[in-house]
Structure 1
């Protein structure tokens, strides 16, 4: 009889209890700051502060059209967070200049806008608790305003980079100018489609999404811009059945939370013409947990996956791929869908996403 010796195990290093407690307290405090910053964005208080000289809480509240007592308490939180400076002698407040670029404006650097996702997670937490206990998942209807939040976040990147940086990755700019057929899968509120349709009037564009509310918002924007080359349809893209219909297909952060991502990718491949291109934008992370340890926002991604992206997929009886499916899995699944060439690009202006360009 052969005796197998147990493999030696290493005792994990232990941290100083005071350091652990300090970090947990800091997380508690930062979570509260996140909530307050989300409120500041939602109510326009950061924008108000940015436009004012040092002002009292009454002046800030009047300028923002808000209740002074609530504004004063919110300002206290922002002062102790280090986002706002307070001058005790005249009881005035002003937004720290070095914080303003990350708390104000419509560009992608405004992280206060993204913080609203954390407050949305808190709203649905009681329902998520039940999915832990009983399995299954939630529906998009359980997330009030989600499509609008996602659209606002995506619009910031697309307004800054879509036409000049993102679309050129696919090498299709000249063909778009000449006139081709384009589809955006999981288009949400359709802002990317409308930007492209306005920039390339000779091409035709269609956006598909299964949210009727999102499609209505997309159509409203297209009408406001008087676009005649953009249309939007309510459709579960897992049922997309078109063949060789498009020269360019795009997806923007839309694949990982599909019920059946492999089916959608196969549908994209079938819908493309032989000389077409597929541009997929999705979360930039590793498929291997150990390789995400140094990713500064990794915990946020896993939280978003647990509370939303994985859950809405499972709620449809889906695969539950999750937000952090990773670049390796994404590239493999694109190839398995029938694409012969896949190139992955990184953009300095958007460290949160990876950009995949695939050819049939």
Structure 2
């Protein structure tokens, strides 16, 4: 009998410890889905502004069914998120917890990402089929995808756009104030571009995205903002080949799930005028699995990759590089595209992402 066939002695202590860990994972997954529901319904925001309150009072203020709210609160209490006072049958959200669970939260709103956990459950049957066939999916197959990405962008990009992100590309803010041509490639609902258009009226802004529903949302948002220096267009960036049109191009968490990231990088480089800048945000994990054991939210990001980023690339006939394609891959793609220089940055407020400033 070979060594590989020899029966293994069970370390019962280690087995029991892992069983406990696996049970904790099940609990955490259930709580994450309930966090998503609480975020979507505004319950965390409401409770952060209330004194200790009964389930009836919370439900009334939220215009929701009390029985459902009471059961949701039970998950939050046993999940150690909401505090419960049995004498008065009241609940409250401690300010220390609200600091990472509410819109505009001091530490960033982690409940935004709980929506991805809920989405994974909704996609389970489709993903099982994909794993059996090797086929991909389309952006439109995912419920509430653009809403979730817009919320993520709101706190990782838009909130720090002017004080932290644009200054990475030295001289860019000054050029925007004077007036330049700007493209956001993979703009989604366009929040970052709209804020730039509002801040820099002398510049002209264009947003391209594959998804028509996101572009429709962006157009309406720009109309409501009364902006006449911005336009959005539904466009597949496969084979993109505009020449020397823009002075600044941005991509915020949009390249790794493209059909062909290398071809896109070459196309974007060609679309820049002399002295132009490409500012690219993407996931900051490594291309090497062993380097990601301690990377923030690595299991979550690999799960998002399996459930979304890899399938949508494969669904376009693409490479399916996935969310954790690695900063090394991104760097090599930008280098191969022929940029004169490529700088890499990691920002304190956003440890999950990496920022590249590439110049022609």
- Give the structure-2-normalised TM-score: 0.95
Post-superposition offset of 1:73: 0.6
CA distance in 2, matches of 1:43, 1:80: 20
Runs (4+) off by over 4 Å: none
Residue 350 of structure 1 aligns to a residue whose secondary structure is coil
Supply the distance in 2 between the matched residues of 1:85 and 1:295 (Cα, whole angstroms): 31
Task: Measure how far apart 1:82 and its partner are.
Answer: 0.8
Matched, 1:32 2:30: yes
Aligned pairs for 1:195-210 within 5 A: 195-210=195-210
Separation (CA, whole Å) in 2 of partners of 1:87 and 1:31: 25
Match among 11, 20, 23 for residue 22 of structure 1: 20
Distance 1:188 1:335 in 2: 26
Name the structure 2 match of 1:74.
72
Partner of 1:3: none
Which sections of structure 1, spanning at least 5 residues, go unmatched? 1-5
How many equivalent residue pairs?
A: 351
Deviations 1:3-57, CA, capped at 9 Å, x for gaps: xxx9xxxx9x967111000000000000011011111101111111111111111
Distance in 2 of aligned mates of 1:117 and 1:135: 22
* CA–CA separation in structure 1 for the residues paired with 2:321 and 2:337: 16
Query: Would you say 1:49 and 2:50 are equivalent positions?
Result: no
**Whole-Å Cα distance in 2 between the matches of residues 199 and 227 of structure 1?**
11
Matched with 1:276 is 276
CA distance in structure 2 between the aligned counterparts of 1:293 and 1:209, rounded to whole angstroms = 33
Which residue pairs with 1:262 in the alignment? 262
Indicate if the aligned counterparts of 1:238 and 1:267 stay in contact, CA closer than 8 A.
no
In structure 2, what is the equivalent of residue 109 of structure 1?
A: 108
Contact 1:52 1:94 in 2 (8 A): yes
Query: How far apart in 2 are the matches of 1:156 and 1:20?
Result: 35
Partner of 2:91: 93
Task: Measure, in 1, the Cα distance between the counterparts of 2:158 and 2:104.
Answer: 9
- Consecutive unaligned residues of structure 2, counting only runs of 5 or more, are none
Question: What does 1:183-262 correspond to in 2, within 5 Å?
Answer: 183-262=183-262
| Maintained 8 Å contact 2:278/2:358 | yes
What is the root-mean-square deviation of aligned Cα atoms in Å?
A: 1.6
Question: Who is 2:146 aligned against?
Answer: 147
Q: Using the alignment, how far apart are the partners of 2:15 and 2:76 within structure 1?
A: 29
CA positional deviation for 1:122: 0.9
Secondary structure in 1 matching 2:238: helix
Corresponding residue of 2:339:
339
